[in-house]
Amino acid sequence: MSQVRVHNFAVSLDGFSTGDGQSHDAPFGHAGGRLLEWFFQTRTFRQMHGEPGGGAGADEAFARTWGPGIGAEIMGRNKFGPQRGPWEDHEWTGWWGPNPPFHTPVFVLTHHPRPSIEMEGGTTFHFIDATPEEALRQAREAAGGLDVRIGGGPTTVRQFLAADLIDHLHITIAPIVLGRGERLWDGLEGLEERFEIESVTTPSGVTHMTFTRP
Amino acid sequence: MSQVRVHNFAVSLDGFSTGDGQSHDAPFGHAGGRLLEWFFQTRTFRQMHGEPGGGAGADEAFARTWGPGIGAEIMGRNKFGPQRGPWEDHEWTGWWGPNPPFHTPVFVLTHHPRPSIEMEGGTTFHFIDATPEEALRQAREAAGGLDVRIGGGPTTVRQFLAADLIDHLHITIAPIVLGRGERLWDGLEGLEERFEIESVTTPSGVTHMTFTRP
């Protein structure tokens, strides 16, 4: 059975996974890059953006697990872009340029479906208005037996956790107090009982936690 | 100058430091002992309760720093006991029996002052209605040049952090989602900018974080 996985998903000490005030110029709102500093320094991130170098230690080992075995991604609309409500800017094709780093079908959850967008490099964005269960059914079909990644943001990850659809959750705790934004953990009391949990702090100062099914 | 220190203070992944529904039989509310499991297994905790054994590794090394150099403690009323409003049960002298583990003056913050209580072993409880600054002034005077520990609960630690009165903060992140209770981090956005922070995960699965003044 293919797995449903979350990778490299950052949370602040106070439980926020994105800041307040997302906009075109601030994809993470007032959090800026602070939640993902550890990730920006990895070889995996650099390669995604065609840059050389990057660390090859524990952070990289975790970051690298993001891609292999994944056949489709599901993301929330706020991860795809800053627009809200009916689509007005039809030219917007995501934050990632003409060749997004996904290289698989990507299902964008939205109450406003629109035609699919085929990008370079194998990424196709599909826009669907669906429950987590139905979105997962479609993504699994598109993934051809491979795993499905839940790409975020916080609302989407939270919904899939609440529906008990996630098999592997990798989060990083950033040592910052964001104060406001979107919370990951709301409504997930007792989540730890469903998973085996392992934690490790790396020299960058973040703590990686993996939640896997027993 | 004497330091103001917090030790062995547990926080859940979602930022709660005590559970919902504190009572005589449930000092941590619905959290039970889950936030402090790592601590119960240390030699320091066992000795506090006259029991043999206990771990001697990294958890113990952190736990042990709780006592040395401390000349007074400040605690919130909810740490002292489950009563709310005007004192009705004057027989109540805390959760800790006739010989509490503090062995110093302890200042209990309350809107309902009452006469001090002298316990065995050097602990005296003083009940004061004071701002954090004024409480600290009194505790410093009583501490005779030694450090002052802020003993909790979450509201008290948060108030002292908000007033920028804490020099050393040691917290442990427990890998649990409590869902409800009292939050530590509210109103402390950007706290990390005032401190140097170091994190380490120990084999018990908790992550110890120390916040110290640069």
For the segment B40-58, the average pLDDT, to the nearest whole number, is: 94
Residue A134, pLDDT above cutoff 90 = yes
Contact A192 B199 (CB under 8 A): no
**What is the C-alpha to C-alpha distance for residues B42 and B67, in angstroms, rounded to an integer?**
14
Q: Supply the pLDDT for residue A6.
A: 98
Contact A173 B207 (CB under 8 A): yes
Q: Supply the pLDDT for residue A122.
A: 96
Q: Supply the pLDDT for residue B27.
A: 87
Reported confidence tier of residue B23, pLDDT bands at 50, 70, 90: confident
What ipTM does the predicted assembly reach? 0.93
**Selection from B88, B24, B43, B15 nearest residue A189 by Cα:** B15
Q: Supply the pLDDT for residue B50.
A: 87
Reported confidence tier of residue B136, pLDDT bands at 50, 70, 90: very high
Reported confidence tier of residue A199, pLDDT bands at 50, 70, 90: very high
Structure tokens at B91: 């027989």
Residue A13, pLDDT above cutoff 90 = yes
Domain over A4-83+100-212 is classified CATH 3.30.70.360: no
Contact A4, A150 (CB under 8 A): yes
Contact A209 B175 (CB under 8 A): yes
Residue B25, pLDDT above cutoff 90 = no
Reported confidence tier of residue A125, pLDDT bands at 50, 70, 90: very high
Reported confidence tier of residue B48, pLDDT bands at 50, 70, 90: confident
* pLDDT tens, position by position, B100-110: 999 999 999 99
Bridge partners (DSSP) listed for residue A9:
A171
For the segment A6-11, the average pLDDT, to the nearest whole number, is: 98
Residue A50, pLDDT above cutoff 90 = no
Distance from CA of A133 to the nearest CA of B (A): 23
**What is the C-alpha to C-alpha distance for residues B21 and B11, in angstroms, rounded to an integer?**
17
Q: Is the pTM of this model over 0.80?
A: yes
Reported confidence tier of residue B9, pLDDT bands at 50, 70, 90: very high
Percent with pLDDT over 70 in chain A: 100
Q: Supply the pLDDT for residue A27.
A: 87
Percent with pLDDT over 70 in chain B: 100
Range in A20-29, A39-48, A204-213 with the lowest mean pLDDT? A20-29
For the segment A82-96, the average pLDDT, to the nearest whole number, is: 91
Residues in A touching B207 (Cβ below 8 Å): 173, 199, 201, 207
What's the Cα-to-Cα distance from B83 to each of A162, B69, B184, rounded to whole Å?
36, 31, 21
Residues in A touching B190 (Cβ below 8 Å): 176-177, 179
Domain segments of chain B as ranges: 4-84+100-212
Residue A102, pLDDT above cutoff 90 = yes
List the CATH code of the domain at B4-84+100-212. 3.40.430.10
Reported confidence tier of residue B185, pLDDT bands at 50, 70, 90: very high
* pLDDT tens, position by position, B191-206: 999 999 999 999 999 9
Structure tokens at B32: 């039970």
* pLDDT tens, position by position, A168-190: 999 999 999 999 999 999 999 99
Bridge partners (DSSP) listed for residue B18:
B182
Residues in B touching A176 (Cβ below 8 Å): 190, 192
Distance from CA of B207 to the nearest CA of A (A): 8
Residue B167, pLDDT above cutoff 90 = yes
Q: Supply the pLDDT for residue B180.
A: 97
